[in-house]
């Protein structure tokens, strides 16, 4: 009796939790790996892509990097504030015009209305010399994404944040 039991396949039941899914799988012991891989790849393919979640994850990653940099900078120079550390991070990683504008946003720069010229001058003051059209395009993209509001008339637009930076999720 034990010989026939040893030669027959053993059925195994496994419970899996993956993101919002919870699945119970029963299969022959020798097929566990294959079945689980198939189930997980199917779940990933079926799961709807949530861009909001991606934005939240990217925002959290940026905040973590800023905190790490701030902590490291404070170890080297205890008098350096988070804004200084943030600038150092931007310089180190090669910054895009858009990422610099997001930095300004998170620093509270857009709490009051700013003209394109003001924004361009602020970037130049910080050592980033982008063409005015590049700055304008990036600001326009942020308006389209409901991060900033644009008020005024053509050639005299003023940009202001729509929400406090803590409530804004930027795509990056």
Instruction: Give tens-digit pLDDT for 95-125.
Output: 789 999 988 998 899 999 999 999 999 999 9
Tell me which H or E stretch contains 114.
strand 114-115
Identify which of 5, 30, 20 has the alpha carbon closest to the alpha carbon of residue 53.
Answer: 20
**How sure is the predictor about 1, in pLDDT bands with cuts at 50, 70 and 90?**
very low
What's the topology of domain 51-167? Answer: Arc Repressor Mutant, subunit A (1.10.10)
149 conformational bin, left if phi > 0, alpha if psi -120 to 50, beta if neither: beta
CA-to-CA dists, residue 139 to 12, 49, 94, angstroms: 57, 27, 19
User: Tens digits of per-residue pLDDT, 10-48?
Assistant: 888 888 776 667 788 888 878 878 877 777 766 655 545
List, in order, residues 6 or more apart from 55 with CB less than 8 Å away.
Answer: 169, 170, 171
> pLDDT (tens digit, 9 = 90+) per residue, 67-94?
666 666 555 555 545 555 444 444 445 5
Q: Could you tell me the residue ranges of all domains in the chain?
A: 2-46, 51-167
Residue 81: phi, psi to the nearest 5? -90, 175
Per the model's pLDDT, the better-predicted residue between 35 and 129 turns out to be: 129
């Amino acid at each position: 009796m034990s010989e026939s039991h040893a030669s027959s396949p053993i059925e195994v039941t496994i419970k899996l939790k993956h993101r919002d899914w919870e699945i119970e799988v029963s299969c022959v012991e020798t097929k566990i790996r294959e079945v689980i891989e198939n189930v997980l790849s199917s779940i990933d393919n079926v799961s709807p892509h949530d861009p909001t979640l991606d934005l939240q994850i990217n925002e959290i990653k940026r905040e973590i990097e800023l905190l790490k940099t701030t902590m490291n900078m404070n170890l080297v120079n205890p008098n350096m504030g988070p804004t200084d550390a943030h600038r150092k991070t931007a310089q180190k990683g090669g910054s895009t015009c858009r990422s610099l504008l997001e930095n300004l946003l998170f620093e509270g720069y857009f709490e009051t209305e700013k003209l394109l010229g003001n924004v361009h001058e602020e970037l130049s003051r910080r050592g980033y010399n982008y063409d005015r059209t590049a700055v304008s395009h990036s600001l326009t993209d942020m308006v389209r994404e409901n991060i900033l509001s644009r008020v005024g008339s053509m050639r005299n637009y003023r940009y202001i944040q729509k929400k406090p930076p803590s409530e804004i999720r930027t795509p990056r």
